[in-house]
A and B are shown apart, each in its own frame.
Chain A
Amino acid sequence: VQLEESGGGLVHPGGSLRLSCTGSGFTFSAYALNWVRQAPGKGLEWVSSIFGDDNTTYYAASVKGRFTISRDISKNTLFLHLSNLRADDTAIYYCAKDQTIPPYNYGMDAWGQGTTVTVAS
Chain B
Amino acid sequence: EIVMTQSPATLSVSPGERVSLSCRASQSVSSNLAWYQQKPGQAPRLLIYSASIRATGFPARFSGSWSGTDFTLTVSSLQPEDFAVYYCQQYDNWPRTFGQGTKLEIK
Contact = CB atoms under 8 A, between A and B. Distances in A.
Interface stretch (A9-17, A77-85, A103-111): A103-111
Q: Sort A-B residue pairs by CB-CB distance and give the 3 closest, nearest first.
A: A107-B34, A111-B43, A107-B49
Contact of B43 (A34, A105, A113): A113
Contacts of B44: 36, 44, 94, 96, 108, 111
Nearest to A110: B46
Interface stretch (B11-19, B66-74, B87-95): B87-95
A25 B46 CA distance: 18
Contacts, number: 63
B101 to A, nearest CB: 4
A44 B36 contact: yes
B95 A46 contact: yes
A105 B1 contact: no
Interface of B: 1, 32, 34, 36, 38, 42-46, 49-50, 53, 55-56, 85, 87, 89, 91, 94-101
A46 B98 contact: yes
A112 interface: yes
B49 A49 contact: no
A46 B97 contact: yes
A108 B34 contact: yes
B62 to A, nearest CB: 14
Interface residues of A, number: 23
Contacts of B87: 43-44
A108 B90 CA distance: 11
A6 interface: no
Contact of B55 (A34, A94, A109, A111): A109
6 contacts: A46-B89, A46-B95, A106-B50, A107-B55, A109-B56, A111-B44
B96 A46 contact: yes
Contacts of A60: 95
Interface string A37-75: 000000111100100000000111100000000000000
A106 B32 CA distance: 7
Contacts of A49: 94, 96
Contacts of A44: 36, 38, 44, 87, 89, 98, 101
